[in-house]
A and B are shown apart, each in its own frame.
Chain A
Amino acid sequence: MTLTDLGIAAARHGLGRREFSARELALAHIAAIEALNPRLNAFITVTAEQALAAADEADEALARGEGGPLAGIPLAIKDIFCTRGVRTTAGSRILGPFVPPYESAVTANLLRDGAIFLGKTNLDEFAMGSSTTSSAYGSTENPWKRRQNPEARLVPGGSSGGSAAAVAARLALGATGTDTGGSIRQPASFCGITGIKPTYGRCSRWGVVAFASSLDHPGPFGRGVEDCALLLRSMAGHDPRDSTSVDRPVPDYAAACRRSLKGLRIGVPREYRVPGMAAGIEEMWRAGESWLREAGAEITEVSLPHTEFGLPTYYIIAPAEASSNLARYDGVRFGLRRDGEDLIDLYERTRGEGFGAEVKRRILMGTYVLSHGYYDAYYLKAQKVRALIFQDFANAFAGVDALLAPTAPSAAFAEGEKTEDPVMMYLNDVFTVPADLAGVPAMSVPAGLDADGLPLGLQVIGPPFGEEVVFTVAAALERAAGFTSLPAIRAGSPAP
């Protein structure tokens, strides 16, 4: 077995028994990145030297019989987590020169537990997108290929597409992402891996470049449910520096992966059966229901009546918050500056040249919906609909323990296929956005392939702080699905 194919649990086991060293594990991944990143463009910045130095430290700790729960585990970090001394761009030109003098709470937690960072992964600019094509540092290629048309360059989903592609192609054992409208779950689905967006407040947002504060959820990617459980356990926890961080103990999520489904009630939301859903998704969803039933769960249909309003609600609230959050990029204290005739001109040039088209579109949209005379009609209205969407979930969870739904309405699409009309692109988030609006935990698990041989994910949604039940259900799905397909482009395989 090659080192890059290991799961996190297996890697921990091998490291603990000194079957291989953390340095060997890191070197295997660095070699994979050197071989494949020029093509995939999953990483914006590779930190090989730091990774090796950290691996040596991990080896010393392991030799002493010490080392945290992630000692020596090489990870990829979405380039939206600020990392001390390592350039952090958020995929934007405007942060091109930015080197944070601080480490985000989530990455600091991972470092505390011994993880090794291989580098910073590509993303849609400021996490605004579903395809990782709006990055100022080029698009990321999905390592999966269509059977019929292997030349087409597919998107890895987004916004955390670099992290998902890196984990799928075996360039890292796991990765961090952020999910604001689906940015962990949709790329996980597109790349055939697992990813969880925990409850809002479960992982600190401190040190994560903000897109939409009330919707941004940091979370992990892995190649299996238990890998995500191990990563989330390290990433989560109360942080007094984030006023929205919740002070509750972090459970043993890996233990939850091994629990029985007996007696659990799983809801299937009828409103998620939308017209235009791609072929194979309905069947996969049905398969998921029967897997869970066979594992001992009871399946019932539930209603989330305001589902269809999730997207328009999201596309008011997220741009509104973003328009304000991104005001700090003004060329004065950090990042890009374009000089102008006066200060206003400097602001306008810096921001006009520093932001890409999608970010500008959302800033303008957000500015518009908050502006005088429109606030009540758009923003306030959206907040009220958000309350109804939250209430839908609360009502559903009064009767069921978790929900089962597809993650995305289609498999990975090709670059350029959906970019003409922004609204068409936004529809990708239809199944993921409601859980972000409600702040509830949700996880995507690969469940099968479509007719083109591309992975499709199923989504498990739990009640607030119901990560354990989400892991239990997701692990059952994983066992039943027996998903073993591999992407065409991956470490150790010849490029197709």
Chain B
Amino acid sequence: MTYSIQGREGPWEVVVGMEVHAQVISNSKLFSGAATKFGAPPNSQVSLVDAAFPGMLPVINRECVAQAVRTGLGLAAEIHLWSRFDRKNYFYADLPAGYQISQYAHPIVGSGSLAIELPDGTTKEIGITRLHLEQDAGKSLHDQHPSKSYIDLNRAGVPLMEIVSEPDIRSPDEAGAYLRKLRTILRYLGTCDGNMEEGSLRADVNVSVRRPGEPLRTRCEVKNVNSVRFVMQAVEAEAKRQVQIWEEGGTVEQETRLFDPGRGVTRSMRSKEEAHDYRYFPDPDLVPLVLEKSWIDSLSAELPELPDAKKTRFMTEYGLALYESSLLVAESGTADYFESLAKNRRPKTVANFMLGDLSAALNRMGESFSSATLFTVAASAALLDMIEDGTINGRIAKDVIEEMERSGEGPRAVVERLGLRQVTDTGAIETAVAEVLARESSKVAEYKAGKEKLFGFFVGQVMKAMAGKGNPALVNEVLKKKLS
């Protein structure tokens, strides 16, 4: 079912394209040798090139070029062996040179595509228009002083990839799926950490609406949206605003807007300035970027397996369902975790364990599979192996996990200390069964009269009497025998 906004006079289709700015993972800046680490003291990661001192010149970082190529390859895009840097001229407090070095006319990466999964399990291709390299600006702080803005140039010159999509997105869900999928691919490639809180990934969302079948109408750009959820909300809010304007007989003005997450609306960026005229021209400090085909081929050969390929492989190689595979490949760290555990273990069991109890525990600890400190692959392996060899049962495993979180111990230590080993001694089980059946004689009578549903009740009572440690299979077996 296609998404639409119901207006007074019928449905409106939403048309969305995105420009995503992704910070390239690199040690140093795009055109200078200053560091790119997040959160450094003000102006401590600034070279005189970044601060645009007289006579300072840009020299490009090879790794940033490689990262752009890798990303292009990951988006199945055309890599341009000849590209060029242009200057985008405008004055702003945190733009030291008075221009940004970007690639306007000749980007390094051309058209490609990215597949998103829709809720009904089908996939949709979103076209990628282009990807280019450019510099980030510095940061202005407006809230530190009553009459001054403070300028920190640590970010100035940090490498960015601007990834532009075709206007192929048709709903808030698709917009969210696009951004999530793009982030997943970037993380797999190791070209951007995708950290939206730190501003490593920011989206400008172009939204317009139209009657089904119409040509495109005027679009508005919602700038600098910094979470997947906000992107989805911004698309919906902006589309509804535009529908209302059109239906009231008004005209949507092409403009730049900001999303206000608190109020859930977009608002116009007050532009007291005249329309921008960026006066793009080729940067005369740089010559064209010419890449060797053989270098592209070697970067291509070193690319990691990408999420779509991995998902398919998980389904065929491990016999997982589409849903489980999709969840497991969303982060490369999760997929790696799975593959380490699934070696010599039942994949289905591993998947269930990871997506169930283990995910819940990691969530509580604010960790992920790749950053897990307590629930390392080794700890999880021990836990799964104890279940498999009957040392503990699945129910006790939950308790072990919770106790690990409390004490910080490993799973085997918890099991030993609390004596959580599963009871497989038939004598002990028979004693517990006998006690329960004696206590619940009336229920026994009902059971024997045909109320077989009560069997589960007896199992529960026996397990309770044994503090959960009874081997479920043995408990079942003994109960069946005694009740027959």
Contacts and interface: CB of A to CB of B under 8 A. Distances in A.
Interface of A: 82, 88, 90, 95, 98, 100-102, 104, 205-210, 212-214, 240-244, 320-321, 323-324, 327-328, 330, 332-334, 343-344, 347, 367, 370-372, 375, 379
15 contacts: A88-B54, A205-B55, A205-B57, A209-B54, A210-B285, A244-B285, A321-B284, A323-B279, A324-B279, A327-B89, A328-B53, A343-B149, A372-B277, A372-B279, A375-B280
A243 B281 contact: no
Chain B: interface secondary structure? loop
B281 A207 contact: no
A269 B284 CA distance: 29
A88 B56 CA distance: 14
Nearest to A90: B54
A207 B54 CA distance: 7
Given A243-B287, A244-B285, A371-B277, A207 B93 contact: no
B358 interface: no
B59 A241 contact: yes
B57 A332 contact: no
A95 B53 CA distance: 11
Contact of A210 (B51, B54, B149): B54
Contacts of B97: 327-328
Given A328-B98, A333-B96, 14 more contacts: A90-B54, A100-B53, A205-B57, A206-B56, A241-B57, A243-B285, A244-B286, A324-B279, A327-B97, A327-B99, A332-B96, A333-B51, A343-B93, A344-B91
B151 interface: yes
Contacts of A208: 55
A418 B284 CA distance: 31
A104 B93 CA distance: 27
Contacts of B51: 333
Interface in B104-162: 149, 151
Contact of B48 (A102, A242, A371, A379): A102
A205 B56 CA distance: 9
Given A101-B48, A324-B99, A82 B55 contact: yes
A330 B58 contact: no
B104 to A, nearest CB: 11
B52 interface: yes
B322 interface: no
B82 to A, nearest CB: 16
A320 B281 contact: yes
Nearest to B97: A328
A171 B96 CA distance: 38
A328 B281 contact: no
B284 A212 contact: yes
A324 B87 contact: yes
Given A243-B287, A324-B87, A100 B281 contact: no
A328 B287 contact: no
B60 interface: yes
Contacts of A344: 91
A327 B101 CA distance: 13
Instruction: List the 5 closest pairs (A to B, CB-CB), nearest first.
Output: A327-B98, A213-B284, A370-B279, A214-B284, A328-B52
A330 B285 contact: no
A208 B54 CA distance: 7
Contacts of A324: 87, 89, 98-99, 279, 281
A455 B149 CA distance: 56
Nearest to B93: A343
A327 B281 CA distance: 14
Interface string B279-302: 111001111000000000000000
Contacts of B53: 82, 100, 102, 328, 333-334
A255 B127 CA distance: 62
A330 B91 contact: yes
B98 A330 contact: yes
Contact of B55 (A209, A240, A320, A367): A209
A207 B55 contact: yes
Contacts of A343: 93, 149
A16 B215 CA distance: 83
Contacts of B151: 332
A243 B284 contact: no
Contacts of A241: 57, 59
A241 B285 CA distance: 11
A215 to B, nearest CB: 8
A382 to B, nearest CB: 11
A274 B281 CA distance: 33
A356 to B, nearest CB: 17
Given A100-B53, A212-B284, A332-B93, A243 B59 contact: yes
A315 B52 CA distance: 25
Interface string B79-95: 00000000101010100
A340 B482 CA distance: 95
Interface in B44-86: 48, 51-60
A98 B52 CA distance: 13
A386 to B, nearest CB: 12
A243 B58 contact: yes
Given A324-B281, A328-B96, A375-B281, A370 B89 contact: yes
Given A102-B48, A242-B57, A333-B52, A213 B279 contact: no
B222 to A, nearest CB: 24
B153 to A, nearest CB: 8
B410 to A, nearest CB: 52
A333 B285 CA distance: 21
A334 B277 CA distance: 26
A436 to B, nearest CB: 13
Given A243-B59, A327-B98, A330-B98, A100 B279 contact: no
A379 B282 CA distance: 11
A212 B53 CA distance: 16
Nearest to B88: A324
B457 to A, nearest CB: 76
A260 B434 CA distance: 120
Contacts of B279: 323-324, 367, 370-372, 375
Contacts of B284: 212-214, 321
A25 to B, nearest CB: 29
Nearest to A333: B51
Contact of B287 (A88, A90, A244, A371): A244
A184 B144 CA distance: 49
A95 B97 CA distance: 15
Contacts of B91: 327, 330, 344, 347
Nearest to A81: B55
A420 B98 CA distance: 32
A214 B286 CA distance: 9
B289 to A, nearest CB: 10
Contacts of A367: 279
Residue from A242, A333, A344, A375 having most chain B Cβ neighbours under 10 A: A333
Contacts of B280: 370, 375
B89 A328 contact: no
A213 B93 contact: no
